[in-house]
Structure 1
Amino acid sequence: MRAPALYSAAGSLILTTLAATPAGSVPRVPDTAAAELRGTAVAAARARAAGIDFGRCAADLEAPATFRCGTVSVPLDYAHPDGKQIRLTVSRVAATHTDPHNSKRRVPRQGVLVYNPGGPGASGMLFPMIGVLPEWKRVAASYDLVGYAPRGVGRSAPLSCVDPGHFFKAPSQAPTHPSASYKEARINEAKAYAQGCLKRSGSGLRHYTSLNNARDLDVLRAALGEDRLTFMGASYGTYFGALYATLFPSHVRRMVLDSAVNPDPERIWYRNNLEQSAAFEGRWADFREWIARHDDVYGLGDTAAKVQASYDRASRRLARKAAAGKVGPGQLQGAFLSAGYYDDFWPSRADALSRFLKGDAGPLVRLAAPTAETAAEAENSNAVYTAVECNDAPWPTDWKTWDQDNTRLARVAPFETWGNAFMNLPCAYWPVPRQQALDVRTGPGELPPTLILQAERDAATPYAGALEMNRRLSGSVLVTERDAGTHGIGGGPNQCVNGYLEAYLLEGRLPERRASCAGHPEPKASVPADHTRRKNPRVSLTGEAGRR
């Protein structure tokens, strides 16, 4: 697919002229860092001695019988390892030892493979289910597959910032050029949300950080009885995986970073979000061009501009009257934003838009309407996302900076810019001290060779981030899926990518230098049998739309 000129030229130009993030964080003094390092060693030693008592999983996990679940204790504050403890939930499916190509051949166990799907705020508890898929059976034969809910997520000392019953505001608007009054309302909401996080979560809120996620990972490693960790992180999971590699390089056995966050401390997290918004404009253009090529199926226009006009017409109609009283322009935008993550969502979204414009709102409602059953999980996920990103690094505290940067970017990237800005705006008014982002990097020989996987047109974690990660982690090797934009590509439909992943995890083999794979085929235009929220096992491995 051709890179749209909008993103490659104008969008990049805007991003290079954005204002720098102002200071305003609380620097981490050496004594605190040393205390946290000692605290991690203390917590890891205790976890190794205690182990994890795996047993039946909670009924609400809806896990198969092969799943075993347990908990591991970690300090809320690693500078005080004898202080308050929190418990992280962990899931495991034992290695099958069975070669999927030769059932009589017994495969030796290589240890555990721990996975994190990103977010921040996503749970990996269901990750071990992946072992039943053909793409993962060889890995599942050699490794115990281990998932967990990071601190703050699910049952792992859950965070909350608002009453879940009031979390979904539907229908909602999705202004690409918000008015002054709309901005003022969102500023007030952001201030109230930030205060709600402190009120509902207390003074411990400051300890929900990426650095503590990395420390928790080392305690989990010890609790699992592993001297060295085999870890795979997707999306945001690549960032604290890189923090782990920087803090504990000798504890790494193998590490896969799939869809890499740019770890440059100057980009954590304000500038990364601006760059993400610009990249989504490019991916939205890819989707519109695909719909236009299949105008005979969807009837939304035979050019990207005509498809945009169809989308805008639907948005205006929803602004006048929400579908089923629940789906407004904001919900429409959310449904189409998820298509920027995964192109296998393209047919269902295109068909739902087509049917809505022809008078049938049912498919769009089923795709986009918020549901009461998912409100608590969504509120918790958003609270963790906000707390981690706000705590991790400095953010601009002057609304003028946000307004200027996003106004300029929205001129060339209107699709996601303001939605992303308002989602992150509580960080401007965050009520607890912030950290300085760690300077991620390892020197030659410090870290075992690691594998980075990246789709060239990934919008959630733009490609430049993978290049920067590759540069900072000495000995790492980048494998690129060309002309593709799926977020999270390991174990997906691209057999070339999966070949590199298997060779690394099973044999420790990496290409000598950067490698690439041709992109997987685009989805076929079709009319889906239904438009329910089916969870594709591959897709569910990465964070939900609106996150990394």
Structure 2
Amino acid sequence: MRAPALHLAAGSLLLTALAGVTAPPAGGAEAAPGASELHGTTVAATRAEAAGIDFGACAEGQDLPGRMQCGTVTVPLDYAQPNGKQIELTVSRVPATRKDPRNSKRKVPRQGALVYNPGGPGATGMYFPLIGMLPEWKRIAAAYDLVGYAPRGVGRSAPLSCQDPKQFSKAPSQSPTYPSPAYKKERIAQAKAYARGCAKRSGGALKHYHSLNNARDLDVLRAALGEKKLTFMGASYGTYFGALYATLFPTHVRRMVFDGPVNPAPEQIWYRNNLDQSAAFEGRWEDLREWIAKHDDVYGLGETPEDVLRSFEKARTRLAAEPAGGKVGPGQLQDAFLMAGYYDDYWPGRAQALSAYLKGDPKPLIDIAGPQAEAAAEEENSGAVYTAVECNDGPWPTDFRVWDRDNTRLAWKAPFETWDNVWLNLPCAYWPVPRQEPLDVRTGPGELPPTLILAAERDAATPYRGALELRGRLSGSVLVTEEDSGTHGIAGGPNACVNGHVDAYLLEGRLPLRRADAACDAHPEPKPGAPRSGGHASAGSRGLGAPAPLTGRGTAPDVNKSA
């Protein structure tokens, strides 16, 4: 359905608008790379602007408390063929409240739509608009329509699948820190089978699920929302295709926030970024063990990080011999503690579960680490999109000997996550469709409005070097660093300093003084004992729509954790 306000005039409006669209460049050697897709984006955006989005009640499972509305926007599967096959992306919205939370008698002016993406690849942003009910977001929710969406392939947006969800979550599973040649051979076979499954279940459409098309989809969504210029917040992977958008469509940008940035350098996409990520998680694992050791009087897992590591390995050994509840093995334990590498809100719960298990009570560990059958279909879909996007986005080594050499070296100094990261991404070595050439993200002085970059200094999922790289590539951007912190995604979290910079930028267009980089002290460490429910409600939080790490191992990617 289309927006009623444009129903009568849509036909003539569309024809008039398309008459002014520049024809695509001639084909052959003279056509600039991506010229056909750029023309296709213009055509699709013009259509979307005429049609709008017919917002109404959300589908079952998405109609949560608040005023959230849902609709769809139509985009081409292939932007080089804008009149070819079309797909629908689902969109959610909570209109601006216009209520000043600091003065109930004052109405604030609406500033348009704030579009958000939580990362992944493979995460949905459909629940993002509900964040306006939280205190940290009320000022932004007053001024902006909060808009989330499910990117192509995710949820109801032309969903991708690579295997039967019933086969996705296999538990218990092993997770050897130093895999044997036999285990490597087994995982190679599984990666090949998974890649074949992606091609079989998706057909010729598979090659069109990549970051460049995600950036193009974002421009069509902008137009469908009636926005002449885009206000966007991307977390984690959302920063990467947000940066692509800034490079492709700089004149369409109003304001952009990049929270927990991916390193956008073309040579990093994606093989080298994953190596850097594995190395960074080792440091974050050390942070967690230091914190647990500091609270040995609560958890009894050891007085030093080395003692805590021995307790963890003791649990792995026990679980390998006898899985907890028949479904939590070393693989599930690893996944649970990997999440603590993303968010320190998880530290108390993980430490308590490990402590209880070693003292004879497996229930807390089963509760946090056990697979959930009801989530299998969503997790399989998320994993399929993750794999398709990362494999399609750029070149990967096609010889396992390269992976084996690089990761064997890395695992000696960073054993915590290195090999699990290999198994997650190994289908890309055997990917059956052509790859994209990564775009050189870069804007010159005056080409792009000033943008805001947020990063935690010890973020493992997107190491801090990526924030520095992005700042250097987007002219006029300013970086706000949360020092000595490793939480992944810091906007709207517990750090008032960070939130102050976000509010000033989004509400007033104001960047730190003299547009120089700024620093914020770390937010307080979590207190031992019961974990805070729901985390800290950061925009990058898994609780806002980004899927929790995939607990399924076996033939599927292990953990949806690129960003």
Same fold per TM (> 0.5)?
yes
Q: How does 1:434-473 map to 2 (within 5 A)?
A: 434-473=435-474
Residues 486-523 of structure 1: per-residue CA shift (max 9 Å, x gap): 00000100000000000000000002211000000000
Q: How does 1:90-489 map to 2 (within 5 A)?
A: 90-489=91-490
Matched with 1:517 is 520
Q: How does 1:35-54 map to 2 (within 5 A)?
A: 35-54=36-55
Residues 61-98 of structure 1: per-residue CA shift (max 9 Å, x gap): 24225011000000000000000000000000000000
User: Is the 1:120–1:543 contact (alpha carbons within 8 Å) kept by the matching residues of 2?
Assistant: no
User: Is the 2:280–2:460 contact (alpha carbons within 8 Å) kept by the matching residues of 1?
Assistant: yes
Q: TM-score, normalised by structure 2?
A: 0.91
Give the superposition deviation at 1:218. 0.1
Partner Cα distance (2:547, 2:342) in 1? 10
- Cα pair distance change 1:475/1:544, threshold 3 Å: farther
**Percent of pairs identical after alignment?**
71
Partner Cα distance (1:137, 1:440) in 2? 33
- Cα pair distance change 1:343/1:30, threshold 3 Å: farther
SS in 2 for 1:99: coil
Q: Please list every run of 5 or more consecutive structure 2 residues that lacks an aligned counterpart in the other structure.
A: 1-28, 550-560
User: Is the 2:346–2:535 contact (alpha carbons within 8 Å) kept by the matching residues of 1?
Assistant: no
* Aligned-partner residue type, residue 476 of structure 1: S
Give the superposition deviation at 1:112. 0.3
User: Is the 2:51–2:224 contact (alpha carbons within 8 Å) kept by the matching residues of 1?
Assistant: yes
Q: Please list every run of 5 or more consecutive structure 1 residues that lacks an aligned counterpart in the other structure.
A: 1-27
Q: State the Cα RMSD in Å.
A: 1.3
Give the superposition deviation at 1:544. 3.8
SS in 1 for 2:104: strand
Matched with 1:15 is none
Partner Cα distance (1:547, 1:174) in 2? 18
Matched with 1:504 is 505
Partner Cα distance (1:285, 1:543) in 2? 25
Partner Cα distance (1:478, 1:535) in 2? 24
Partner Cα distance (1:62, 1:430) in 2? 37
Partner Cα distance (1:314, 1:322) in 2? 10
Partner Cα distance (1:528, 1:497) in 2? 23
SS in 2 for 1:102: coil
Residues 113-133 of structure 1: per-residue CA shift (max 9 Å, x gap): 000000000000000010011
Q: TM-score, normalised by structure 1?
A: 0.93
User: Is the 1:117–1:543 contact (alpha carbons within 8 Å) kept by the matching residues of 2?
Assistant: no
SS in 1 for 2:61: helix
Equivalent residue pairs, number: 518
SS in 2 for 1:454: strand
Q: How does 1:25-36 map to 2 (within 5 A)?
A: 30-31=31-32, 33-36=34-37
* Aligned-partner residue type, residue 123 of structure 1: T
Give the superposition deviation at 1:31. 5.0
Partner Cα distance (2:154, 2:364) in 1? 31
Give the superposition deviation at 1:391. 0.1
User: Is the 1:122–1:544 contact (alpha carbons within 8 Å) kept by the matching residues of 2?
Assistant: no
User: Is the 2:481–2:518 contact (alpha carbons within 8 Å) kept by the matching residues of 1?
Assistant: yes
Q: Which stretch shows the higher mean deviation, 59-68 or 339-348?
A: 59-68
Partner Cα distance (2:84, 2:31) in 1? 20
Partner Cα distance (2:275, 2:418) in 1? 7
User: Is the 1:451–1:479 contact (alpha carbons within 8 Å) kept by the matching residues of 2?
Assistant: yes
Q: How does 1:62-101 map to 2 (within 5 A)?
A: 62-101=63-102
Give the superposition deviation at 1:169. 1.3
Partner Cα distance (1:247, 1:294) in 2? 49
- Cα pair distance change 1:259/1:338, threshold 3 Å: same
Partner Cα distance (2:38, 2:322) in 1? 56
Give the superposition deviation at 1:32. 5.4
Partner Cα distance (2:406, 2:170) in 1? 26
Residues 339-360 of structure 1: per-residue CA shift (max 9 Å, x gap): 0000010000000000000000
SS in 2 for 1:491: coil
* Aligned-partner residue type, residue 203 of structure 1: G
SS in 2 for 1:526: coil
- Cα pair distance change 1:295/1:403, threshold 3 Å: same
Residues 466-498 of structure 1: per-residue CA shift (max 9 Å, x gap): 000000000000000000000000010000000
User: Is the 2:160–2:385 contact (alpha carbons within 8 Å) kept by the matching residues of 1?
Assistant: yes
SS in 2 for 1:405: helix
Partner Cα distance (2:218, 2:530) in 1? 43
Give the superposition deviation at 1:282. 0.2
User: Is the 2:315–2:358 contact (alpha carbons within 8 Å) kept by the matching residues of 1?
Assistant: yes
